[in-house]
Amino acid sequence: MTFNRRTVLVAATLAALTGAVLTSPALSHGPTPQKTDVSVEIDAPFDAVWEVLADFASIADWHPAVQSASPGENGKSRVLTLDGGSITETLDVSSKERGVIAWRLGTPNPEALAVSSYNDKLMVEPAGDQKTTVRWIGRFYRADTSNFPADGQTDEAAIEDMTRYVESGLTGLEAYFAARRN
């Protein structure tokens, strides 16, 4: 097979254009969902742990990062005050029979948590008569969902903030029940 100069020029031009189109920022995908999945065993029976967690606005009693929590209408939402400001969360599910409490971020505040959205849930199950396992599972997106996120609003910042938030919450819950025993 022989190639003339024009065939080579057309092929090179098409290759260059294809490369430019395929690497265009307009075709880049945005953020990918990030996850947390952390568990703790609480030295308290299931019913006692459930009673505290089912009160959606009681999070300020046991989560050290939550300065205050104000309940919303019918107990289905809450406004949390954190170091960086306030966020609003909406309750999706609260089922003692299934041992699940699930909620989502309603109003984000990147100064409080470096995320644009999240869905979190607590899985609560007995671990014997006097112990309860609480598992906090979350799925979230970084605060800046553009292809080129601003400093402090990246996947790394979101992972760091949410991991710290979830871990400190479970540590706080464990300490809350330890204090009640003493």
In this structure, what CATH number is given to the domain that contains residue 50? 3.30.530.20
Is the pTM here over 0.85, yes or no? no
Calculate mean pLDDT across residues 112-128.
97
Report pLDDT digits (tens) over 61-96.
999 999 999 998 788 999 999 999 999 999 999 999
11 part of a folded domain: no
Separation CA 110–CA 82 (nearest Å): 11
State whether the Cα torsion 46-72-141-65 is positive or negative.
negative
130 part of a folded domain: yes
19 part of a folded domain: no
Instruction: Give me the pLDDT at residue 56, please.
Output: 95
Which pLDDT band, with edges at 50, 70 and 90, does 21 fall under?
Answer: very low
163 part of a folded domain: yes
1 part of a folded domain: no
pLDDT for residue 25 is more than 50? no
What residues contact residue 96 under an 8 Å CB cut-off, 6+ apart?
50, 54
Q: 135: domain range?
A: 30-181
Instruction: Give me the pLDDT at residue 16, please.
Output: 55
Instruction: Give me the pLDDT at residue 20, please.
Output: 46
Separation CA 138–CA 163 (nearest Å): 9
Work out the burial of residue 158: count CB atoms within 10 Å of its CB; fewer than 13 is exposed, 13-18 middle, 19 or more buried: buried
18 part of a folded domain: no
Separation CA 124–CA 85 (nearest Å): 29
Q: Could you give the number of structural domains in the chain? A: 1
Instruction: Give me the pLDDT at residue 36, please.
Output: 97
10 part of a folded domain: no
15 part of a folded domain: no
Instruction: Give me the pLDDT at residue 114, please.
Output: 96
Q: CA dist 130 to 32, 44, 45, 63, 96, Å? A: 39, 5, 4, 22, 17
Work out the burial of residue 152: count CB atoms within 10 Å of its CB; fewer than 13 is exposed, 13-18 middle, 19 or more buried: middle
